[in-house]
Amino acid sequence: MLQFQSICCPLDFSESTSSIYNLAIQLAVNSQAEINLISIVPATYQGDIAEYGFLGRFVEEAYAQSEADLKVVVDKIKADYPFLIVHSKVLKNNFVAPAILEYLQENNIDLVIMGTHGRRGLEKIFMGSVAEEVLKKATCPVLTLRIKA
């Protein structure tokens, strides 16, 4: 069986979030690995307007909400699995896949578990595919779970 030391789960707090981190927990327990939970908040409105305008408040509120959501997940994991080491971080970045890839490199992650919406056609062209970009560019294995819309 493959052994992992550090597993990363990028979370968007959709309905499938618990399925993603529950799989990570099982693999972490079996491998005695650490879990890294991350969430990416678009930083689209950084700069002068972000400091004073409505859009800046929106970004800060989204950041605070992601931190709160991550804390709930981390607290639940630690309560159920007190022996697991769990790290969490909210990242601000306009480009989600590059932010994930950078985090993987900086933190020596050796497995990524993430959801995919399975977009195709025009929807994929306009919405993009974070999972696809991570799959193509990550230097570690990536396990994707299909998220049902």
The string of pLDDT tens digits covering residues 101-124 is 999 999 999 999 998 865 555 444
CATH of 6-146, picked from 3.40.50.620, 3.40.50.300, 3.40.50.920, 1.10.490.10, is: 3.40.50.620
Q: How many CA atoms lie within 13 A of 115 on its CB side?
A: 20
Residue matched to tokens 């595919």: 129
What does the block give as tokens for 33? 């690995």
Please count the residues of the chain.
Answer: 149
The string of pLDDT tens digits covering residues 10-54 is 998 888 789 999 999 999 999 999 999 999 987 765 554 445 555
What separation, in Å, do the N-terminal and C-terminal C-alpha atoms of the chain show? Answer: 32
C-alpha angle with apex 116: 115 to 119, nearest 5 degrees? 165
